[in-house]
Amino acid sequence: MEPGSVSLTQSRFRSRTFHVLDEKGRLNLPSRFREVLRQSGSDVLMVAPWKTHLRAYRIAEWEALETKLLAQGGEQGIADFVRYTVGGVVECAVDKQGRIRLPAELRDDANLTKDVALTGMMDWIEICDKTSSQAEIDNTRDNFKEHQAGLAKMGIL
């Protein structure tokens, strides 16, 4: 690949890794996730509470989500969602060691204590408790047939 060119394989967040939060709430980001950020021209993730976990977005994806919320502002329940998610979002810059610091409020909201899972969800990173993540993985694997019709409709199966 030529210097300055962008690898298409790095343009999305992919894969799952397990990490340990340090005592200050810092979380190591895998180098492949940092590369996706670098390609977007920023070293900042917008980290928001999301039910049982956290979602970390590149700035452009976060702004697109906010734009959708603004367009649907009159829908029932949207104000509550905005209050929870947009009100709780935090800008987390990647430090020189490749870590982000998750504030205590976000860690508490997602029940993150020590062992965490980072899952690349293409346009965002899901950050959740390792035990909860493993339970979801096991459930999806055990019930995989429930996804077959939808995957077939998309031409994946």
User: Which residues are CB-neighbours of 50 under 8 A, at least 6 positions away?
Assistant: 85, 110, 126
Q: Does 146 map to a domain? A: no
Cα–Cα distance, 70 to 18 (Å, whole number): 35
Instruction: Report pLDDT for 9.
Output: 54
Q: Is the distance from CB of 60 to CB of 40 less than 8 angstroms?
A: yes
Instruction: Report pLDDT for 135.
Output: 93
Instruction: Report pLDDT for 140.
Output: 92
Q: Does 136 map to a domain? A: no
Segment 110-134, tens digit of pLDDT? 999 999 999 999 999 999 999 999 9
Token pair for 37: 């950020």
Q: Does 155 map to a domain? A: no
Q: Does 151 map to a domain? A: no
User: Which residues are CB-neighbours of 46 under 8 A, at least 6 positions away?
Assistant: 56, 57, 58, 59, 62, 89, 90, 91, 92
For the entire predicted model, the pTM comes to 0.88
Segment 22-42, tens digit of pLDDT? 999 999 999 999 999 999 999
Segment 49-100, tens digit of pLDDT? 999 999 999 999 999 999 999 888 777 778 888 999 999 999 999 999 999 9
- Number of domains observed in the structure of the chain: 1
Instruction: Report pLDDT for 71.
Output: 87
Residue 98: Cβ-neighbour burial (10 angstroms; 0-12, 13-18, 19+):
middle
Residue 99: domain span: 8-130
Instruction: Report pLDDT for 94.
Output: 97
CATH number of domain containing 55 = 3.40.1550.20
Q: Does 73 map to a domain? A: yes
Q: Does 72 map to a domain? A: yes
Q: Does 138 map to a domain? A: no
3-state secondary structure of 152: helix
| One-letter amino acid of 95 | D
Cα–Cα distance, 149 to 157 (Å, whole number): 9
